[in-house]
Amino acid sequence: MLHRIVLLVTSTLLSLLQCTEQQHPALTTPAHPTALATTPTEATVSQLIRAMLDTSALSRTAPGARPALQAGSYVHTFYGAEPAPAWTAGTDSITTEATAALTLLAQAKSYGLQPENYAILHLSSLRDSLRFAASAGRNARQARFDVALSDAVLRFMLDLHRGRLRMYTPSPLEKATKRVFQPADTLREALAARRVVAAVLACQPPTHEYQRLQKALAQWLREPVAPDSAYQQQSHYEQAALNLERWRWEAFAAPDYVLINLPAYELYVVSGDSVLRRHRIIIGKPQTPSPTLSSAISYFTLAPDWHVPRSIATKEILPRLQADAGYLARNNYALYDMRGRPLDPYQINWRQVTPASFAYTIRQSAGCDNALGNIVFRFANPYSVYLHDTPVRQLFAQPVRALSHGCIRVEQPMQLAAYLLQREGRAVNLPSEAECALQPRPQDVRLRQPMPLHIRYFTCAAEGGKLRFYNDVYRLDAGLRQALFAAAPKL
């Protein structure tokens, strides 16, 4: 019965709205994804807001209804069971918080988002319509502006916190704290305290790198643009914006951590707002890319053995064995069966062994030629990748360093190990390279405080307050760029 009454009232209000708009064509506003149905001027603003929200809820089944709200259920939660205007004062003016919110939405590009996604032109038109002297339709205009601005601000908050493309996906920080983001509650409290802009901007990730990139982008947008560089300017803007989107998906909060940015070919040791150490790295080739992940370095191994991955053993070592069984001994490899028993490679007819029938494991002992070098840092991950030393250190001088099978090689790894020990207040007594090479067996060094490790993919970052762009080595930007910018609504 209640549902039928709601349908009847809504239908009546919509019918009256059509008559009102025919009589007062100046009240009609341009169609837009966030445009809302207008209701009769005789009703109060609160009644009109409620009717709009009911109409929005029925929009999938009501013939001719306008598109639903962008922030849907969050708008309903914001207004609650007894809706009241939130952004208007009197009948023909808006609050200072509404003015501040409109200004912030117009500056969305500074945060890697597009003003047109928040109907800024439509909102400006609605705001201007409140200044009309005629009383007819004034309540309808006020209600329409109120709901539209609430919808835009709530969607902006969600986009800042979770990302434009993952509105309904809890952020990593939500998962870590087990606290679901509640933008409606936040906005309601901010309006009461008259701190809307501060509350909205607080929705952004607190991660040091995100904050620096956002500020650098805002500063970059304020710089003059040469007339002949508009295309490059837009391309660079989109590259910075899509990386802010990535940060919203992969944000984290930790006072100390190791961050690896794959396109930058660099590892950073971060504490608070400071980068304490930087190391050049070698990453996986495009054919064998290094994964992105979050984990923690729990220990490192000195003079490590290298258990050769099966893919490398069958694709690279097997052809060499088929040509010369002495290849293993010359490179400090040992051959074992699947039960770990040592085998003599000269006793095997390698020409009859195929990748599918390869029933062996290969291990390389510590030494100058060990692929892991003198040290490997261990962290839990499902990809069996390591952070390790390398005997081929001249490769760190190359500008493009996507050269590995997926593991990450780090320059000056002993200095990184020393830092991890110093961080715990432990004495640093690491062996020299010569001592590692002569060490008879691997030595594990456990950390009392595992070091958070984040491996990420960002093709734009901030250096000294300036934007710095990196080559899209794994070609991951194009799809994200298309999703963020190709379908932006045009007004």
Estimate the crossing angle of helix 138-162 against helix 183-193, to 10 degrees: 120
Q: How confident is the model at residue 490 (pLDDT cuts 50, 70, 90)?
A: very low
Question: How many beta carbons lie within 10 A of that of residue 290, not counting itself?
Answer: 25
List the catalytic residue out of 203, 388, 436, 460: 388
DSSP code of 316? I
Between CA 273 and CA 94 the distance in angstroms is 39
Spatial contact of 247 and 210, defined as CB atoms under 8 Å apart: yes
Q: In what order do the strands lie in the sheet with 360-364?
A: 306-307, 360-364, 333-337, 342-343
Q: At which of 176, 201, 226 does a domain end?
A: 201
**Rounded to the nearest 5°, which phi and psi values hold at 488?**
-65, 130
Between CA 244 and CA 257 the distance in angstroms is 20
pTM: 0.82
Which candidate, 220, 219, 211, places its Cα nearest to that of 248? 211
13 and 85 housed in the same domain: yes
CA distances from 235 to 208, 242, 258 (A): 24, 11, 30
Lookup result for tokens 């002949």: 228
Beta pairing partners, 410: 281
Q: Examine residue 367 and state whether it is found in any structural domain, yes or no.
A: yes
Distant-in-sequence, close-in-space partners of 118: CB < 8 Å, separation ≥ 6: 105, 108, 152, 153, 155, 156
List the catalytic residue out of 203, 407, 436, 460: 407
317 and 416 housed in the same domain: yes
Q: How confident is the model at residue 115 (pLDDT cuts 50, 70, 90)?
A: very high
Q: At which of 157, 180, 201 does a domain end?
A: 201
197 and 260 housed in the same domain: no
Q: Examine residue 19 and state whether it is found in any structural domain, yes or no.
A: yes
Q: Lowest mean pLDDT of 47-51, 89-93, 226-230, name the range.
A: 89-93
Residue range(s) defining the domain that contains residue 400: 256-456
Q: Examine residue 140 and state whether it is found in any structural domain, yes or no.
A: yes
Q: Examine residue 152 and state whether it is found in any structural domain, yes or no.
A: yes
Would you say residue 32 has pLDDT above 60?
Answer: no
Identity of the amino acid at 188:
R
Q: How confident is the model at residue 398 (pLDDT cuts 50, 70, 90)?
A: very high
Q: How confident is the model at residue 368 (pLDDT cuts 50, 70, 90)?
A: low
Question: How many beta carbons lie within 10 A of that of residue 425, not counting itself?
Answer: 8
Distant-in-sequence, close-in-space partners of 161: CB < 8 Å, separation ≥ 6: 171, 181, 183, 203, 204, 205, 248
Residue 407 annotated in active site? yes
295 and 407 housed in the same domain: yes
Mean pLDDT score, 251-260: 91
288 and 402 housed in the same domain: yes
417 and 282 housed in the same domain: yes
Q: How confident is the model at residue 23 (pLDDT cuts 50, 70, 90)?
A: very low
Q: Examine residue 116 and state whether it is found in any structural domain, yes or no.
A: yes
Estimate the crossing angle of helix 230-249 against helix 208-221, to 10 degrees: 160
Would you say residue 63 has pLDDT above 50?
Answer: no
411 and 311 housed in the same domain: yes
Torsion of CA 454, 455, 456, 461, to 10 degrees: 80
318 and 433 housed in the same domain: yes
What's the structural domain count of the chain? 2
Q: Examine residue 222 and state whether it is found in any structural domain, yes or no.
A: no
Given its phi and psi angles, is residue 8 left (phi above 0), alpha (psi -120 to 50 degrees) or beta? Answer: alpha
Give residue-wise pLDDT tens across range 330-343.
Answer: 888 889 998 889 89
Q: Examine residue 225 and state whether it is found in any structural domain, yes or no.
A: no
**pLDDT score for 427:** 86
194 and 54 housed in the same domain: yes
194 and 271 housed in the same domain: no
349 and 447 housed in the same domain: yes
433 and 304 housed in the same domain: yes
Q: Domain containing 263 — which CATH number?
A: 2.40.440.10
Q: Examine residue 77 and state whether it is found in any structural domain, yes or no.
A: yes
Would you say residue 13 has pLDDT above 70?
Answer: no
DSSP code of 314? I
Q: At which of 201, 217, 246 does a domain end?
A: 201
